[in-house]
Amino acid sequence: MPERADAVLAAIPLLAVSGIALRTAIAVTGVGTGLLGVPLAPIGYLAAFVLVVREVLAGPVAERADGSS
């Protein structure tokens, strides 16, 4: 049975690639211009970074380090 840590570790690379995948999808379909797709690539990396920071500061590891159970 998957645990929370497994889900978080799987979500990090998925979030990082999601911005590039969305940018590519927009460019391939021709719906948006390259100018619209430019800010989408860093959004995935930012989302992955926010997930990591949230887990470190407010996740179960932080709760165990704090001493409150």
Q: Which amino acid is at 27?
A: A
As a whole-number percent, the residues of the chain with pLDDT over 90 amount to 3
Q: What is the pTM assigned to this prediction?
A: 0.69
Cα torsion at 34, 40, 13, 28 (round to 10°)?
Answer: -30
Contact 20, 37 (CB under 8 A): no
For residue 1, the surrounding DSSP H or E stretch is none
Mean pLDDT rounded to a whole number for the chain: 79
Lowest-confidence region among 10-14, 31-35, 43-47, 64-68: 31-35
Q: What one-letter code names the amino acid at 36?
A: L
